[in-house]
Amino acid sequence: MIKVVIEDLSEVIDAETGHSCGGGYGIPVEQTVYIDSRLTPEQQRFTLFHEVIELKLPHLKHSRIDPLVSALIEADEQWRSYDSTKGII
C-alpha cells in the first residue's frame, strides 16, 4: 500500500537537480508519496497521480506521465458523473 503525506515541501531540494522538488516526490523503498500542501486540491490530485505512476512504473519516460495523468483524471471525472439510470457517462 502506498502511503501519502501532504505537507509543506518548500524546504525540500531535489538531490538530482539541486532545485525545489516541484509539487511532490516519491520514495520507492518506503512506497511513500509526498505532496506539497501549498498546492490547490486539483494540483495535489494531479501530483498524487503523477508520483504514484512514477513509483509504480519507474521505466516509463517522464514526458509520458503528465498526458497519462490527464487522461486518468478525465476518465475518473467521467466515471464520477456516470448516470446508472441512463447507462451513459
Is 85 part of a structural domain of the chain?
A: no
In this structure, the strands spanning 24-27 and 32-36 are antiparallel
Strand positions, DSSP E, the chain: 3-7, 24-27, 32-36
Is 36 part of a structural domain of the chain?
A: yes
Is 87 part of a structural domain of the chain?
A: no
pLDDT bin (cut points 50, 70, 90) of residue 59 is very high
- For the domain that residue 47 is a member of, what is the CATH number? 3.30.2010.10
Residue 25, all three cell numbers = 516526490
Residue type, 27: I
Report pLDDT for 49.
96
pLDDT digits (tens, 9 = 90+) for 2-17: 999 999 998 888 777 7
pTM: 0.83
CB distance 25 to 31 below 8 Å: no
Number of domains making up the chain: 1
Q: Residue 55: which of 76, 74, 34 has the closest Cα?
A: 34
pLDDT digits (tens, 9 = 90+) for 11-52: 888 777 787 877 999 999 999 999 999 999 999 999 999 999
Is 89 part of a structural domain of the chain?
A: no
